[in-house]
């Protein structure tokens, strides 16, 4: 069953914790099946979390450091190869599934909620 267009209740949407974080570290994730980076992201009072992100088409590790991104912080951790990913970095899927990261227009406090 395709649930892509199924309406979401307001209560369901409110449960999704999308927060702003700043990338502290970024490195090539050699153990990943598909090209990816290992990211360490500061979410302020929500802590520092690890994530695997398939964003290698448009970004280099060095340019990610210090960049604010948007991520879902309340999904259950997921084992990806040798790493336990603790949040889901969000991006728009373009042609050939190339990911463009979501970010804020201006710098905001780490941990700020997206709503």
Predicted pLDDT of residue 1:
53
Predicted pLDDT of residue 5:
82
Picking from 108, 109, 104, 77, the residue whose alpha carbon sits closest to that of residue 90 is: 104
- Give yes or no for a contact between 28 and 37, defined as CB atoms under 8 angstroms apart: yes
pTM to 2 decimal places: 0.91
Q: How far is CA 40 from the centre of its chain?
A: 10
- Give yes or no for a contact between 85 and 76, defined as CB atoms under 8 angstroms apart: no
> In 29-114, where do the E strands start and end?
37-42, 48-53, 68-72, 78-80, 83-85, 88-89, 91-93, 99-101, 113-114
Give the chain's residues under pLDDT 70: 1-2
Residue ranges of domains in the chain? 14-105
Predicted pLDDT of residue 115:
83
pLDDT digits (tens, 9 = 90+) for 19-46: 999 999 999 999 999 999 999 999 999 9
Predicted pLDDT of residue 2:
64
CATH fold label, 14-105: OB fold (Dihydrolipoamide Acetyltransferase, E2P) (2.40.50)
């Amino acid at each position: 069953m395709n649930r892509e267009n199924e309406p979401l209740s307001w209560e369901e949407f409110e449960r999704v914790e999308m927060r702003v974080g700043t990338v502290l570290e970024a490195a090539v994730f050699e153990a990943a099946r598909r090209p990816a980076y290992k990211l360490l992201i500061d979410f302020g009072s929500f802590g520092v979390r690890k994530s695997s992100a398939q964003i290698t088409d448009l970004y280099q590790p060095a340019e990610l450091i210090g960049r604010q991104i948007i991520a879902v912080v309340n999904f259950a951790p997921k084992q990806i190869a040798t790493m336990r990913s603790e949040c889901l970095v969000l991006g728009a899927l373009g042609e050939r599934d190339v990911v463009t990261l979501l970010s804020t227009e201006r710098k905001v406090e780490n941990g700020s909620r997206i709503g």
